[in-house]
Chains A and B, each alone.
Chain A
Amino acid sequence: MPLFWLILIVLVIAAVGYMLGRSRALANAGGDSRELHSLPSYYGWNVALKAMVPTFGLLIVWLLAQPLYVNSVISGMIPDSAIDDGSSRGLVMAEVRRAATGLDNAVAQGLMDEDFARNARADFTDVTQRLKDAGQIVTAEVTQTVLRAAQRYRIVNSTGYLIMSIAAIVVALAGTLFALRETRALFRARNVVEFGIHALLVAAASIAILTTVGIVLSLVFNTWEFFRLYPASDFFFGLNWAPSFSGRGGSSDLGVLPLLWGTFYISIVALAVAVPIGLFAAIYLSEYASPRVRSVAKPLLEILAGIPTIVYGLFALLTVGPLLLKVFGDDGLGWMQAGTAVMTAGLVMGIMLIPFVSSLSDDIINAVPQAMRDGSYGLGATQSETIRQVVIPAALPGIVGAILLAASRAIGETMIVVLGAGAAARLSLNPFEAMTTVTAKIVSQLTGDADFASPEALVAFALGMTLFVLTLGLNIIALYIVRKYREQYE
């Protein structure tokens, strides 16, 4: 991997720079480090940082910008006539990229030589077949336009990376030289290095913002793309979810309502399980349990929170589903057709959320001042009366916040519903029927065979956007409530 080597080279330059900077400073001070403004290592770090930071910054920007540039260049090569009806520029570009990857692979496997890969003509040779031999999935026959674009794509890309490598090394060397030139005994190396470290700290903290921006941008762009191919009103108000896998566009029904209904229904079942159990567990642990019981029961319950969701998914699919089927299925009450159902997923998700509700509520109940309880006991209230009529009402905002957080968890939960809830999207009230959720459909639309640029795949981003907005809203409200509540007793 050339990038790996490039990074290594820059690191080596920085290390050499460190040594040089250190020794140069010492030499300038006549070998007596007391004559220096800063400790010798700061002079070394000054050089190393000036070699590394601009270089890595350049690399990151370049790696982000090059695909954009290449795309616009290649996209310009494809005439409108080369885009079939029902297809789009995006689809053709995906085809170009696939062909280019195929050429790379074929060269790597020795099926083609570099020269052939650069110059072959689709109409003369069996490029498509050769690409397939190299293990590349190519949807259609590679046309001459696509092949030309793919070849150009490879060339532009590799030239780009070459220039990037050279530029990176030049910048690293230039940084080293500049820093070495300014290295003198009275140079304030510590201040400069500390300023640099401070900047790095700020940059690290900003990653949180960048991540959010990345999430929002990737959702917004793709959702926008989706709404160009599929009407937004049909998405938001459609009562039917039936993506087609054969054709492109038009023949799919992509209404979000059945998915939202499935999501809410399962979450409600989950909360119906988790909230009473979690709340009572929290009350018992914080108000009644002896320290010994508490020290055993609390960590045991919290184990439930540490178990990965894939385990719960399997538990739903292979243990709880069959168990429910035995009771409610055709052999029992006859309400259930298959093991995967709203009930199965909801129940298991409820189990998962018990410790979530209980530990949050535990904290919140503990935050209710003891004076409040004393006041109630002093009037002759029993412990349960105190809890029900004083502690819980006082803690209510916090508990509501905790439940909202749990609800947001339930809405965003993926593995349990993928494995336990079934795949059919329907608007039904029967909790023993299979239903599906927003998250489960994001998975199935993006892991299926559908092309990235088709509405069937892009709809996943619109679903992701819906999910993101829903959970974000719930979280903000919940955090606001909890914070308000905490302030009240601080």
Chain B
Amino acid sequence: MTDASMDNPTPARSRSLSQTDPNTRRRNAAERRFRAYGMAAILVGLFFLTVLFVSIVRSGLPAFTRTVVTVDFTLTQEQMDAAESELFKTKAYSNLFIASLQEQLQQRGMTVEFDEAAIERLLGKVGGTLRAHYQANPDELSQPVAFELAASSRVDGYFKGRVQRETLQDSRFLQLSDLDLVDALEEAGIIKQAFSWAFITGADSGVDNPGGAGIGASVVGSFFMMLVVLVLSLPIGVAASIYLEEFAPQNRFTDLIEVNISNLAAVPSIVFGILGLAVFIQFMHLPQSAPLVGGLVLSLMTLPTIIISTRASLKAVPPSIRDAALGVGASKMQAVFHHVLPLAAPGILTGTIIGLAQALGETAPLLLIGMVGFVARGYPEGFVEGFTEPNSAMPAQIYTWAARADVSFYEKAWGGIIILLAFLLTMNIIAIILRRRFERRW
């Protein structure tokens, strides 16, 4: 055979394989470009993700710290009696406090001039706080008590870089000279940044006190809402899925349900808010701003998600299991509830957690049922009240803060987002672990 090819000399081939012709070079360049576009798209997406997270963390972390002044203060019985006998009692306490502070600064070899007004700008009405403390705890008289006083939000802002010396204009809230005092106190170790549990456990404070605002109460509100969502949407969703997947005949009615579910999954969340407002509040006169109503609305929104994932897990259970159960004389209902449902349970659970996580972050419908703007000043009084009394919810609280005029609240809003994302992350991780753990390949 080789001889044969020797006899027929190879005709001059127009195309050689080892030499890339210009056309191919051009096409390969286009190939590389196209590939680069794809890579660039991924990188742009990841870049956005990074920017988002960096700005959340950078702007949100300060919400977890607050500026506190820690002062050791001793009040004797005589001083208290003297102060109580004066006309302006809290002013007397203030003066005592100022004297003590000055003394402590002098001990450290620092002399800064300041007056009562400056202290009020820095720490608020100290006198009242002191008086209230000693009236409540008279046994602490004559012994040193370490007072931890929260600094005003502007001083807090000075520490966090929100308020700058160069751009500060003297006002009744803060003056340039106060910053000298703050610097001195900082040098003396009296004023410093500390972790703020109050932000995590506290309640909203109203428009005028950004420093004291906390997210705790709205976490509780969200918790009650999620409870409603879980209790309603899980059983209803599972029941609906079982019907559609196992029992539903092929007819118009089934089609109608299917079409409705797939459309509900895509209806904008604000429309569910309108539904909640019109049906639950206007028509049924359920209380406004209540976690119960929020939970009802979110349940309706979460149902399609749960139904879709539950049906997927039911579908994944092989028919042989059903046949086996029917074969030993179980009714269809027994086959489904005794065999199919337990096998599908991990998938259902995973889908439910993901649906709950979605509902937890949903904001728009809550705007319409009055959960925004409501100042959640405290925790609900009891379990039943937790559902029916007005409360806020995490995303609604974040929106409320973001919508307030005082920029100090922005920091709180970002901090709230960190907490919200922490919850979502935890839920998703649990879902992933469940899926990894119980995933079954048939």
A and B touch in the complex (CB under 8 A): yes
Main secondary structure of the interface of A (DSSP, over half): helix
**B:259-278 near A, CB below 8 Å:** 260-264, 266-275, 277-278
The residues in B between 380 and 420 inclusive whose CB is less than 8 angstroms from any CB of A are: 384, 388, 395, 398-399, 402-403, 410, 413-414, 417, 420
In the assembled complex, A124 has its CB within 8 A of some CB on chain B? no
> What is the number of residues of chain A that contact chain B, defined by CB distance less than 8 Å?
93
Enumerate A301-333 residues with CB–CB distance to B below 8 Å: 301, 303-304, 306-311, 313-315, 317-319
A443, B270: Cβ atoms under 8 Å? yes
B38 touches A218 (CB 8 A): no
Q: A219-B274, A300-B46 are in contact. Are A207 and B236 (CB under 8 A)?
A: yes
Is the beta-carbon distance between B395 and A211 smaller than 8 angstroms?
Answer: no
A234 to B33, CA, bound (A): 52
Cα–Cα, bound, A278→B37 (Å): 11
Given contacts A214-B279, A415-B399, A471-B266, contact A308 B274 (CB under 8 A): no
| B-contacting residues, A103-121, CB 8 Å | none
Q: Assess the B284–A64 pair: CB atoms within 8 A.
A: yes
- Chain B residues whose C-beta falls within 8 Å of the C-beta of A405 in the assembled complex: 266
Kindly identify, within residues 258 to 287 of chain A, every residue whose CB is under 8 Å from any CB belonging to chain B: 276-281, 283-285, 287
Residues in B with CB closer than 8 Å to A202 are 243
Which B residue sits closest to A287, measured CB to CB?
B38
CA distance A197 to B275 in the complex (A): 29
In the complex, the answer to whether A205 meets B35 with C-beta atoms within 8 Å is no
What's the least CB distance linking B246 to chain A, in Å?
9
Q: In chain B, residues 328-374, which have Cβ atoms closer than 8 Å to a Cβ of chain A?
A: 331, 333, 357, 360-364, 367-368, 370, 372-373
Chain A residues near B402: list those with CB within 8 A. Answer: 313-314, 317-318, 419
Residues of A within 8 A of B28 (CB): 382
Q: What is the CA–CA distance of A288 and B49 in the complex, to the nearest angstrom? A: 22
Query: A370: CB under 8 A from chain B?
Result: no
Asked whether any CB of chain B lies closer than 8 Å to the CB of A476, the reply is yes
Chain A, Cβ-Cβ closest to B237: A204
A190 CB–B CB distance under 8 Å: yes
Answer whether A205 and B284 are a contact pair too, CB < 8 Å, given A310-B361, A467-B268.
no
Residues of A within 8 A of B364 (CB): 309, 414-415, 418, 439, 443
Asked if A280 and B263 make an inter-chain contact with CB atoms under 8 angstroms apart, the answer reads: no
> Please, which residues of chain B bring their CB within 8 A of the CB of A285?
42
A479 interfacial by beta-carbon distance below 8 Å: yes
Which of A144-152, A237-245, A383-391 lies at the interface? A383-391
| CB pairs A–B below 8 angstroms (17 shown) | A190-B331, A201-B240, A204-B237, A281-B38, A313-B363, A314-B402, A315-B52, A318-B59, A351-B48, A442-B274, A442-B368, A446-B368, A452-B282, A461-B274, A461-B278, A467-B271, A471-B267
Residues of A whose CB lies within 8 Å of any CB of B are 1, 4, 63-64, 67, 97, 190, 194, 197-198, 200-209, 211-212, 214-215, 218-219, 221-222, 276-281, 283-285, 287-289, 297, 300-301, 303-304, 306-311, 313-315, 317-319, 351, 354-355, 358, 382-385, 387-388, 405, 408-409, 411-415, 418-419, 439, 442-443, 446-447, 452, 460-461, 464, 467-468, 471-472, 475-476, 479
Top-8 shortest CB links A-B: A412-B268, A308-B361, A284-B38, A218-B278, A280-B41, A204-B239, A384-B34, A201-B243
